[in-house]
Structure 1
Amino acid sequence: MKNSEIKGLAIEELRSKLVAENENLSKLKFAHSITPIENPMRLKEARKLVARLNTEIRAKELAQ
């Protein structure tokens, strides 16, 4: 998900997306701890996406 797509979402959409991505990240971490996943860069990408979502949520909260 690109930053321009993230900026176009409303706060509630961002929060629901954040919950889904946090769940996805925890599943990836769990799968990687059992057996190494094929592409470990997916963990890094998932962490960055969660951080981008958190940042945009905070920016929109401060703007209100």
Structure 2
Amino acid sequence: MKAQEIRTKSVEDLNSQLKDLKAELFNLRFQLAINQLENPMRIKAVKKDIARIKTVLRETEMREGA
């Protein structure tokens, strides 16, 4: 997911997507713990997506506050 794609979405969409990604990360970590994870690089990708979404949400928050 690109930052440009994230910036075009609404805050509600971003919050719901953030919730979904956190749940996916939890499941991936659980799979890693029981040695059933097929693609360990997916954890890294999900973490980066979470960080991108949080960054855009914070930028939006700062813009509205100013």
TM-score by length of 2: 0.90
Identity of aligned residues (%): 38
Q: Distance in 1 between matches of 2:23 and 2:13?
A: 16
TM-score by length of 1: 0.92
Displacement over 6 Å in runs of 4+:
none
* Residue equivalent to 1:8: 8
* Residue equivalent to 2:33: 33
Q: Distance in 1 between matches of 2:40 and 2:29?
A: 10
Unpaired runs of 5+ residues, structure 1, are: none
- How many residue pairs match? The answer is 64
| Post-superposition offset of 1:38 | 1.9
Unpaired runs of 5+ residues, structure 2, are: none
